[in-house]
Amino acid sequence: MKQISTFGSAGYQPGDLQLLRDAGDDAAVARLLAPCPIMRLNAGQAVAESNQARLYIVLRGALAVETDTSTGMTDGTVSKVLPGESVGEQSVLDEEANLASITALEDSDILVIEAHLVWQLIDESNVLARNLLRLLSFRIRAANAQLRRRQKVGEFYRQMSMNDALTGLYNRAWLNDVLPRLTTTAHSTGAPLALIMIDLDHFKRFNDSHGHLAGDQALRAAAQVLSGALRPTDFAVRYGGEEMMVLLPDTSGPMAVAVAERLCERMQQAQVFADMRLPLPHITASFGVATLEARQNEQDLIASADAALYRAKELGRNQVAQQAAGS
């Protein structure tokens, strides 16, 4: 970047700059701007970093501005600054060095105004102060709108990360986040909490006989059985592979067993192949039911339900078993 002239000698007027628009023929403002250097940037050239707060105004060409470079962790947001527009206002107001990365998109001429001179201009012309407030207000609104968009996108992806892509049920990440809170709430309020562990019977045999695409469809059908038979306050989770789980807040042991029996019956009636109308007797499920006991944590609850599930399998599968008394 090299100086090619000054503002006064180049024939520009204060009104050519957005921050001084409507200033008219303010002689005092023109006098203060006259010695300010105009620097030439070639396309792709960056403004050299400086420890001084400065205001940069584009007179010709265009700049690309990427913020937050001080941490080395930018968010990829790049603003385009066109003739008459400026960058560096915040650094002047904060009296801090400009931390934005500024690069010429094309051959550009840049007016450089030191911070102390900006404050003199504010003293000389309330037009600059008014325009500066308008500019900062616009940028705050734009930044807030962008932040809201990012929050919505972030929440969208967070929700996606909490759901199993195949079945649409919640996944292990969700379970690890929510189940500890459910157990803590149950212990503190004295409300019951039940958990049903579910395993599709002989699922490997089903995959070997019908193929993995049919197996995926069977998992989706089983997930639909669970999500279609639960209350809005209940939760269905894909625990892993062909294992699923149902969380039942405010549900006693007998009520949870009744829910599991209803799910077991509906699982037998679910259809994997809609075109062939084949039911699911060969892909039934076994159910293990447990309720949270005093001094149990979430891992203890899962272990109790898992033990009940294995009991259901030992008894012949396609049925419901409850945790042993005192377990």
User: How distant is the alpha carbon of residue 217 from its chain centre?
Assistant: 30
Residue at token pair 């400086």: 50
Q: Is 249 helix (H, G, I), strand (E, B) or coil?
A: strand
Looking at 242, 261, 265, 293, which residue is catalytic? Answer: 242
Kindly compute the dihedral angle of the four CA atoms of residues 82, 83, 89, 95, in this order, to the nearest 10 degrees: 120
Is the CB of residue 170 less than 8 Å from the CB of residue 236? yes
Q: Is 242 a catalytic residue?
A: yes
Asked if residues 92 and 55 have their Cβ atoms less than 8 Å apart, the reply is yes
Dig out the tokens for 89 from the structure.
Answer: 């206002």
Residue 280 and residue 268 in contact, taking contact as beta carbons nearer than 8 Å: yes
Contacts of 145-149 with C-beta under 8 Å, sequence gap 24+, read 146/77
Q: Which residue has the tokens 């008014």?
A: 130
Contacts of 282 (CB under 8 A, 6+ apart): 202, 205, 206
Contact in structure between 163 and 174 (CB atoms under 8 Å): yes
Q: Cα–Cα distances in Å, from 125 out to 6, 24, 140?
A: 21, 11, 23
Rg (CA), the chain: 34
User: Contact at 8 Å (CB) between 199 and 245?
Assistant: no
> Percentages helix, strand, coil for the chain, rounded to the nearest 5?
45, 25, 30
Round to whole Å and give the CA distance between 181 and 175: 10
**Cα 126 from Cα 136, distance rounded (Å):** 15
Angle at 17 between CA 14 and CA 20, to 5 degrees: 60
Please list the active-site residues: 242
